[in-house]
Chains A and B, each alone.
Chain A
Amino acid sequence: MTAELVPIPFTWVLALSAVLFAIGTLGVMLRRNAIAIFLSLEVMLNSANLAFAAFAYRFGAVHVAAAAALDGQIFIFFVIAVAAAEATVGLALFIALYRLRETIDVDRFNILRW
């Protein structure tokens, strides 16, 4: 069984991943609303997923054995599952915080200190 080549260089995918990661990081750094930060975090997570996909795609071509290509995809699957769990807990936390302080501006929360 031969691998079917697709005419997209995998470094393009990696580059896209890098750009998305930088955008997500900027969002985390510049926003002060907890949900906006969380959204930016999701962008970062997905850029990581894209990197996984890029390498899975690349090594699926290099190593003809299927496992190399498949493992990357399974990782992405897991990341999505963890992201789901994280979103569940994170959003529940925000709701709890909002009930307490009537805001989710992270600059207003500074009790995580000495």
Chain B
Amino acid sequence: MVTWVFLAAAAVAVVFACLAVVVRNPILNVLSLVIVFFAMAAIFALLGMDFLAAIQVIVYSGAILVLFLFVVMLLNIPRLGRLGSGRPFQALLGSLLAAFLGGLLLAAAALLPAGLGAVLPGAAAGGTAVPIGRALISSHLFVFEFITLLLAAAIVGAVYLGERELQ
């Protein structure tokens, strides 16, 4: 049962990722990506990472992608050009390289000894939110604080960029 659900989620993720790249309507692109992220949230949940599944939905889909959607609508972006338009040779080379890199990664995955994973001990009972929360304010406190600093800087930067008329 778990396996089938995973395969289904994986299929949805791949299909909608392709759509997000291929479709020429920007709004549909963003919405396809939302579905990809939902599928990934499902996979996280299957792997026993319930906290991540939650923030994937809340933060990524709910906040970041909505921001994208907002910008797309604000700028009133017309239909996108065809894939690889403008610089065909470069597009061809880039595609080949991307495919090669994907193949490389797939081959790496195939070469690794396959093995089953395991859900975090106790996750089934109490979820991962508590251990992650504890780790963030104990062993990973410095990085955690640093991220807050980064976010603060990003906000300041965004406000600055949005306010001034650039020359």
Contact = CB atoms under 8 A, between A and B. Distances in A.
Within the complex, are A and B direct neighbours (CB within 8 Å)? yes
Interface of A: 1-33, 35-36, 38-40, 42-43, 46, 49-50, 53-54, 56-58, 60-62, 64, 66-67, 69-71, 73-74, 76-78, 80-89, 91-100, 104-105, 107
A95 B71 contact: yes
Nearest to A69: B120
Given A1-B121, A69-B120, A76-B52, A6 B46 contact: yes
Interface size class of B (residues with CB under 8 A): 35 or more
Given A9-B114, A35-B68, A21 B105 contact: yes
B48 to A, nearest CB: 7
Contacts of A62: 115
Contacts, number: 288
Given A1-B122, A70-B131, A39 B29 contact: yes
A96 B164 CA distance: 8
Interface string B150-164: 110111011101101
Contacts of A18: 102, 105-106, 108-109
19 contacts: A3-B121, A4-B123, A8-B3, A12-B10, A20-B36, A25-B97, A25-B101, A28-B98, A29-B95, A32-B86, A35-B26, A39-B30, A49-B40, A53-B44, A77-B51, A85-B151, A89-B154, A92-B157, A96-B166
Contact of A73 (B2, B26, B52): B52
A94 B5 CA distance: 38
